[in-house]
Amino acid sequence: MPQQDKTQEAAIAATAGQQNDRFADRPADRPADRYNPQLVETKWFGRWQNDPHLYAADQVSGHADPIKKKYYVLEMLPYPSGVLHMGHVRNYSIGDALARYMWMNGYNVLHPMGWDSFGLPAENAAIANNTPPRQWTLGNIAKMKAQMKRLGFAYDWSCEVTTCLPEYYRWNQWFFLKFYEKSLAYRKKSKVNWCPKCATVLANEQVVNGCCWRHEDTLVEQRELEQWFLRITKYADELLRDLGQLDGWPEKVRTMQRNWIGRSEGTLVDFKLDYSQPTQPFGAAGATISVFTTRVDTIFGATSVQLAPQHPIVADLAAANPDLRVKIDQLIAEQRQAKEAGDIGEIEKHGVFTGRYAINPFNGEKVPVWVANYILMDYGTGAIMSVPAHDERDYEFAKKYKLEIRLVILPRSGDPEETMCEPALPFTAEDGTLINSGQFSGLDCAEAIKKMSAHAEQNGFGKATVTYRLKDWGISRQRYWGTPIPMLYCEKDGIVPVPEKDLPVILPENVEITLAGGSPLSKLPAFVNTTCPKCGGPARRETDTMDTFVDSSWYFYRYTDAHNGRAPFESKTAQYWFPIDQYIGGVEHAILHLIYSRFWTKFMRDLGLIANNEPVEHLFTQGMVIKDGAKMSKSLGNIVSPDEMVARYGADAARLYSLFAAPPDRDMDWQDSGIEGIQRFLGRVYRFVLRNAKPNRTDWGNMVPADLPPQARAIQRKLHQTIKRVSDDFQGRWHFNTCISAIMELVNALYSYEESVVSDRVARAPSPASAGGEVAAATPQPPAAEEAASIALRAEVQRSLVLLLAPFAPYLAHELWEMLGEKENLLKAAWPRYDAALAKEEEIEIPVQINGKLRSRVVVSADAGEDVVVDRALADEKVKFAIAGKQIIKKIYVPGKLLNIVMK
């Protein structure tokens, strides 16, 4: 504990004796008279530490309570960098509030936490500090776990998952074998991002503006490497289709996934190179150029074929033409530069004519074959037909190189009699009619696309097809700190999977980590050299490790059965808990993690391990934590440390503030002064309960009488309104900022009530109150009936107030709960219910407008009809004045809301 707190504590202890003796009936360990978060939180922290099963879900196999409904609430697991940041605190505060709310509503709640603990930072740290990645990682986990516990998050640590341990990653390997068995894992050559300074592969997300994230002046190269892929594209259609069912997901995320999958229906059409011009032999790539188009209806307007510079046919054509080779290399360089600069969209279009022609199979026309820098090899077939009249890019290109522009679609006119007019070019809309298109002239575009695709297929030069932007998932990483891919290479038997019984393939330790010379594992003969399980001969191990997104694709299933040594998890248990009821995390994972997870779930379903089609029922993406107008980052120096906040204001204040400052789905602006206000509020609650809690009284639980005095009735109404507001938000829109505001309003109302009751009593009292500052002590006794009503009401209010606060500020809530003399565990105490009748206002104030301008207000009973309101309004002096001498045209009454009198 910091020195400051010790002195503060000492000061409190020293003054304690001087305080009045109203709490003489409290036991010796009585609470401090002032809210001291450190005292409260360390006390409960200690108790919770000693109860490891506090937050454990009911066991499923055997004796889960069949009446309780399950609720699986999950926050995205962190990478163990070693220190929590405010974004984590916000994320976990949302999930924790929800978990606690669900517990209090009687659910069987699963609320686990784990560590996404493989990945490159551990290797960097190993190089920088000469610490083994495992040691560094496990040390970080210990630190962050301690931080999480101190923050009071209610996790069931008995099912903690640490992805870098063999007990977990062996199941990554097991799944990989299953993928391989089903032909969904395969090996092929592929382009990867390569940083020459790091001498290693980078993930796409580690390439920033075409440069290495750690060497910002070093351009990333593309290298061809043999890589393992998972065939996610097999599920592309299902992944797309089922997005439609995920109505518990933000539309933004669904849209992002839809775009990422990028399904595009179109037609493949084969253009044969012109045989009548055999000036060169055809190369290995053959003589047919297959193009992909979504607008086969415009094919009669195709006036050239455009190839990506990397297209295999281009290499053949250029082989015998050094001049062409030079120009094409130039195009490749331009394209690469644009990609690296991240503005491939703005590349200036360049192309070069190959000197060859191809034949449009629809009309037998010869069209020139060009190579262009705006054609991408990794989309479609890397070749297009160019239709300048009906495509903006083709139009721009044709204008530049003076290629023919031929109109083949006219806009469809609404009136069939009307002559169709020539559109401004390029005309790219799909509501048109074909012209100059042989037998297809006169068809609508949509109909033409179908008929022309069918025509191509019947005649063997094309077919309707679907293309995706989504690519198969390359999971090989030439790094050390990851799951070894369980495959072997035998000279005799080729690629051989490691037999299941030999799993896990253990990641060796005591490995020298360097950035040079390829994967560290490849330099370990003891790891690499093994025997082939088929022939017993010598074999080499795969030395690549898996992408860490593999780890996070299924970890939430492992939570349900974290210690299973025979299977990744027990199906029955997973079926009980899945799908996840609520998943909470940052929107930055909208694509990768969340699409991989969906893919993995569908694969596990096809394996028969689970029954659900989707892993996550409701997804919530919280906003970023911002300070001084920018995302918190070391380089900007605007980091707020959770540890420091906990030390200064307490975990409750840090958590409550992270929920109070903005709605959770929006970015929140961290202001140090804001958290002080929250601490003040918690102190106000503390003092109120401290003043009013009288745990030894026997009339504590008495029913609140129906005929309360008006001021007490107002408090009761406010209480029930507050319970309604907070409960509704948990059920619906999750605007915890306004929930907390509502609780603050309730507390403010209690202070006013206390004040007014006291002043009433003082007014009634025979003599002025004696000095002393503490209102209650100075108060003369009220009549017995009123006192009883007041006590019963206060008991209800205080209990409910503490319960309402429990999801947001658990430490203080537990402390106050104990102060109230409650014995039951607050975590399992019933969430307060509101009574709609008690929450209802008896009298309401109706604003009266004249011609839309507010002129007065009238007070009526809540169930008053329009006549009453109008009568009351017309009798109002201000209204009378405003309408004098004018004529009432109409009266608009919105029940319970407003009256507007329209005048002339």
Partner RNA sequence: GCCGGGAUGGCGAAAUUGGCAGACGCAGCGGACUUAAAAUCCGCAGGGGCGAAAGCUCUGUGGGGGUUCGAUUCCCCCUCCCGGCACCA
Q: Which of residues 467-486 bind RNA (CB under 7 A)?
A: 467, 469
Bridge partners for 75 per DSSP: 584
What is the x/- site pattern for RNA, positions 278-297, by CB under 7 A?
A: --------------xxxx--
751 binds RNA (CB under 7 A): yes
Give min distance, CB of 394 to RNA, in A.
Answer: 8
Burial of 739 (0-12, 13-18, 19+ CB in 10 A): buried
Does residue 782 touch RNA according to CB under 7 A? no
Tokens of 636: 């900007």
Residue 831 structure tokens: 């969430």
Nearer to RNA, 612 or 671 (CB): 671
Q: Using CB under 7 A, which of the segments 49-57, 389-397, 703-711, 832-840 binds RNA?
A: 389-397
17-21 contacts: CB < 8 A, separation 24 or more?
Answer: 20/772, 20/774, 20/777
Q: How far is the CB of 358 from RNA (least distance, A)?
A: 15
**Can you tell me which of 9, 33, 570, 676 binds RNA, judged by CB under 7 A?**
676
SS3 241: helix
Query: Using the rule CB under 7 A, which residue among 54, 738, 778, 818 binds RNA?
Result: 738
Sign of the four-CA dihedral 318, 323, 329, 330? negative
Ramachandran assignment for 507, one of left (phi > 0), alpha (psi -120 to 50 degrees), beta (any other): beta
Indicate whether 621 belongs to the interface with RNA (CB under 7 A).
no
Interacting positions 489-528 with RNA (CB under 7 A) = none
CB of 72 to RNA, least distance (A): 26
Nearest approach in angstroms of CB 393 to RNA is 4
Residue 467's Cα: distance from chain center in Å?
28
DSSP for 31-42 reads PPSS--HHHHHH
* Residues 207-246 as x/- pattern, contact with RNA by CB under 7 A: ----------------------------------------
- Based on CB atoms, which residue is closest to RNA, 397 or 481? 397
Contact call for residue 745 and RNA (CB under 7 A):
yes
Question: Which one of the spans 105-113, 224-232, 378-386, 481-489 is the region binding RNA (CB under 7 A)?
Answer: 378-386
Quick check: 623 and 662 in contact, CB under 8 A?
yes
- CB 424, min distance to RNA, A: 16
Determine the Cα–Cα distance for residues 146 and 149; give it in Å rounded to an integer. 5
Picking from 448, 419, 423, 418, the residue whose alpha carbon sits closest to that of residue 433 is 448
Using rule CB under 7 A, residue 854 touches RNA: yes
Would you state the structure tokens that stand for residue 251, as one six-digit string?
């539309």
Binding flag, residue 760, RNA (CB under 7 A): no
Nearest to 594 by CA among 255, 853, 173, 143: 255
Supply the minimum distance, in Å, between the C-beta of residue 283 and RNA.
Answer: 21
Which of 740, 804, 826, 869 touches RNA (CB under 7 A)?
740
**Which token pair is 41?**
């939180």
Helix (H, G, I), strand (E, B) or coil at 466: strand
Which residues ranging from 9 to 68 are in contact with RNA (CB under 7 A)? 34
By beta-carbon proximity to RNA, the closer residue of 574 and 812 is 812
Q: Facing residues of 580 across strands? A: 616
Comparing CB distances to RNA, the nearer of 72 and 649 is: 649
- Report, in Å, the least distance between residue 657 CB and RNA: 8
Both tokens of residue 258? 């839809």
Residues 413-472 that bind RNA (CB under 7 A): 467, 469
Gyration radius of the chain's alpha carbons: 36
Cα 680 from Cα 669, distance rounded (Å): 19
170 versus 872: smaller Cβ distance to RNA: 872
Q: Is residue 733 close enough to count as binding RNA by CB under 7 A?
A: yes
For 463, the 3-state DSSP assignment is: strand
State the angle between helix axes of 651-660 and 37-49 in degrees (0 to 180), rounded to the nearest 10. Answer: 100
Binding-site member from 644, 755, 842, 863 for RNA (CB under 7 A): 755
Comparing CB distances to RNA, the nearer of 51 and 237 is 237
The DSSP call for residue 422 is P
Nearer to RNA, 226 or 845 (CB): 845
- CB 513 within 8 Å of CB 133: yes
Size of the site for RNA (CB under 7 A): 92
Q: Within 10 Å of residue 587's Cβ, how many Cβ atoms?
A: 18
Chain residues 579-598 in contact with RNA, contact rule CB under 7 A: 587-588, 591
Q: How many residues does the structure list for the chain? A: 904
Among 106, 210, 518, 663, binds RNA (CB under 7 A): 663
Is there binding between residue 662 and RNA (CB under 7 A)?
Answer: yes
Q: Min. distance of Cβ 202 from RNA in angstroms?
A: 16
Contact with RNA (CB under 7 A) among 261, 678, 689, 801: 678
- CA–CA dist 18, 35 (Å, integer): 17
Candidates 6, 197, 252, 764; binder of RNA (CB under 7 A) is: 252
Interacting residues of 722 by C-beta distance below 8 A, sequence separation 6+: 742, 743, 745, 746, 800, 804
Q: Does 309 bind RNA (CB under 7 A)?
A: no
Q: Which stretch binds RNA (CB under 7 A): 347-355, 445-453, 605-613, 693-701?
A: 347-355
* Helix ranges (DSSP H) in 117-250: 120-129, 133-150, 166-181, 236-243
Residue 839 engages RNA in binding (rule: CB under 7 A): no
Q: If binding is defined by CB under 7 A, does position 374 make contact with RNA?
A: yes
Please say which residue, 79 or 374, places its beta carbon nearer to RNA: 374
From the CB of residue 251, how many other CB atoms can be counted at a distance below 10 Å? 9
For residue 669, state whether it binds RNA (rule: CB under 7 A).
yes
Count of Cβ atoms closer than 10 Å to residue 606 Cβ:
14
Identify which of residues 417 and 843 has a Cβ nearer to RNA in the complex: 843
The reply on whether position 769 binds RNA by CB under 7 A is no
Say whether residue 677 binds RNA (CB under 7 A).
yes
**Which member of 431, 667, 835, 863 binds RNA (CB under 7 A)?**
667
> Is 152 a binder of RNA (CB under 7 A)?
no
Taking CB atoms within 8 Å and a gap of at least 24, the contacts of 328-334 are 328/352, 328/371, 331/371, 331/372, 331/373, 332/373, 334/373
Among 181, 348, 500, 787, interactor with RNA by CB under 7 A: 348
Task: Figure out which of the listed residues 164, 212, 375, 704 binds RNA, where binding follows CB under 7 A.
Answer: 375
Is the separation of the CB atoms in 326 and 319 below 8 Å?
A: no
Instruction: Give long-range contacts, CB 8 A cutoff, 24+ apart: 894-897.
Output: 895/866, 896/844, 896/846, 896/862, 897/846
**Of these, 673, 767, 770, 781, which contacts RNA (CB under 7 A)?**
673
Residue 786 is encoded by which pair of tokens?
Answer: 């009123």
Q: In angstroms, rounded to a whole number, what is the distance separating the alpha carbons of residues 401 and 833? A: 75
Per-residue H/E/C for 711-725: HHHHHHHHHHHHHHH
Contact positions with RNA (CB under 7 A) in 93-122: none
* Residue 259 found at the interface with RNA (CB under 7 A): yes
Given a contact cutoff of 8 angstroms between Cβ atoms, the answer to whether 843 and 859 are in contact is: yes
Query: Which run of H or of E encompasses 259?
Result: helix 251-261
In the complex, minimum distance from the CB of residue 697 to RNA, in angstroms, rounded to a whole number: 24
Residue 817 CB, nearest distance to RNA (Å)? 21
- Which range binds RNA by CB under 7 A, 107-115, 738-746, 802-810, 815-823? 738-746
Q: Does 674 bind RNA (CB under 7 A)?
A: yes
Give the nearer residue to RNA in terms of CB position, either 244 or 345.
345
Interacting positions 856-895 with RNA (CB under 7 A): 857, 878, 890, 892, 894
Nearest CB to RNA, comparing residues 567 and 862: 862
- Please identify, among the stretches 319-327, 499-507, 693-701, 852-860, the one whose residues bind RNA according to the rule CB under 7 A: 852-860
Footprint of RNA on residues 190-209 (CB under 7 A)?
A: none
Q: Closest Cα to residue 606, out of 184, 10, 119, 145?
A: 184
Q: Identify whether the C-beta of residue 529 lies closer than 8 Å to the C-beta of residue 540.
A: yes
